[in-house]
Amino acid sequence: MNKEQALLKDYTMGNLKLKNRIVMAPMTRSRANNPENAPTDLHVEYYKQRSSAGLIITEGSQVSKKAVGYINTPGIYSKAQVEGWKKVAQVVHEEGGKIFIQLWHVGRISHPDFHNGELPHAPSAINPHVKSFTPEGFKDTVTPKEMTIDEIKLTIQNFKQTAENAMGAGFDGIEVHSSNGYLFHQFFNKCSNIRTDEYGGSIENRARFLFEVIDEIKKVMPENRIGLRFNPSMHGVSGMIVDEETIPTFDYIIKRLNEYDLAYIHLSEPFTNVSKVPYAETHIAKRYRTLYKGAIIINGNFDQEKGNKIIAEEFADLVSFGKLFISNPDLPERFAQNAELAKWDLSIFYTPGAKGYTDYPSMLNRT
């Protein structure tokens, strides 16, 4: 493969050798439409097709029944789920790829329909006023139940247990989904966390849940196989609102992560234009490059040119691509050849079956 491009150069992440700097971003595809919400042979095929990525990060996978918030998303807490994931990890390794699983808890983005009528759990009882993707279609979110200390401790243990399950399933590592308006993000931001105990109030308290989760997870797996995902300037999406303490909270978290030997932090540039949003940071990679000494994966609307540029400029070490990987299973090869890219079809991102999932051809298979 042509190694001239920055994206195509290999990279050593901790003790893991990646064949290029092209990461497949985690993407929910809602194909685990079976009673166990276990990965199937279709998942095996989908990830196999994309194993030329330097690193695959799987779709968000719930850490418990309570963590779910979308239809047909896989978990990693039950035996059947672990068995399904084993086949995925195995095939990616057979193809010479590397794969982390994303561990997920949606918190208040869930809906009572997923919990026999009981309320979703969140740091505080504040409705995000967005939509939840339920078995009966999109529904308004509700006011969640404020988690008790015992429920917080149990959730921390769920992350620890599923990290252990992930290592047992043969994954190279895990990514904690501490991003995009879900449970961890709900702890970080004041718009969703008005707790007055040790998990709310100060910046340090709002970050506590994350650090307790990492400290538990590293008891069952190597620290340098743990990745964390953040979207500091997410605003007006999934109920998140940036305020004067948001960026200082992420600064605090990310600086403190220098005390750990993590695989990486995975950052998103703002999903929306936040240039006029007070207190938002418009240049995430640039800001956090100076604050964090470890590996940075950057994400958000990158293409080949922008990806090569940001690595060459050294604001990030790797770039993750989402939608481009849906429609271009052999994305690294296409970048190497400067080949044409296929367009994705939004209408079949989350529909069951092979259509829009495993039927995007690679260049070699095109007729």
Ligand X SMILES: Cc1cc2nc3c(=O)[nH]c(=O)nc-3n(C[C@H](O)[C@H](O)[C@H](O)COP(=O)(O)O)c2cc1C
Distance CA 64, CA 148 (A): 17
Question: What values do phi and psi take at 324, rounded to 5?
Answer: -60, -30
Instruction: Name the residue nearer to ligand X (CB basis): 6 or 146.
Output: 6
**Would you count residue 227 as binding ligand X (CB under 6 A)?**
no
One residue of 159, 230, 250, 321 binding ligand X per CB under 6 A: 321
One residue of 300, 329, 332, 356 binding ligand X per CB under 6 A: 300
Give 53's DSSP letter. S
Tokens representing 221? Answer: 């797996």
**Would you count residue 181 as binding ligand X (CB under 6 A)?**
no
One residue of 258, 301, 337, 365 binding ligand X per CB under 6 A: 301
CA-nearest of 142, 105, 167, 169 to 239 is 142
Residue nearest to ligand X according to CB distances in the complex: 322
> Which residues between 88 and 107 bind ligand X (CB under 6 A)?
102
CA-nearest of 338, 337, 356 to 346 is 356
The answer to whether 182 is a known catalytic residue is yes
* Binding window for ligand X (CB under 6 A); candidates: 35-43, 145-153, 275-283, 293-301: 293-301
CA-nearest of 89, 246, 50 to 173 is 89
Active-site residue, from 46, 77, 182, 199? 182
CA-nearest of 297, 275, 277 to 102 is 297
Query: Please, where are the H alpha helices in the chain?
Result: 41-49, 79-94, 149-168, 183-188, 203-217, 246-256, 284-291, 304-312, 323-327, 331-337
In the chain, which ranges are E strands?
11-13, 16-18, 22-24, 55-62, 99-104, 121-122, 131-134, 137-140, 145-146, 173-176, 226-230, 264-268, 296-299, 318-321
Number of alpha carbons in the 13 Å side-chain half-sphere of residue 317? 20
Instruction: Name the residue nearer to ligand X (CB basis): 31 or 177.
Output: 177
Instruction: Name the residue nearer to ligand X (CB basis): 200 or 229.
Output: 229
* Binding window for ligand X (CB under 6 A); candidates: 89-97, 209-217, 285-293, 300-308: 300-308
One residue of 211, 279, 292, 349 binding ligand X per CB under 6 A: 349
**Would you count residue 323 as binding ligand X (CB under 6 A)?**
yes
**Would you count residue 59 as binding ligand X (CB under 6 A)?**
yes
How near is the Cβ of 324 to ligand X at its closest, in Å?
6
One residue of 52, 110, 233, 268 binding ligand X per CB under 6 A: 268
Binding mask 8-47 for ligand X (x = CB under 6 A): -----------------xxxx-------------------
How near is the Cβ of 148 to ligand X at its closest, in Å?
27
Instruction: Name the residue nearer to ligand X (CB basis): 158 or 200.
Output: 158
How near is the Cβ of 244 to ligand X at its closest, in Å?
25
What is the chain's length? 367
How near is the Cβ of 79 to ligand X at its closest, in Å?
23
Residue labelled with tokens 């919990």: 115
**Contacting positions for ligand X (CB under 6 A):** 25-28, 59-60, 102, 177, 179-180, 229, 268, 299-302, 321-324, 349
Active-site annotation, residues: 182
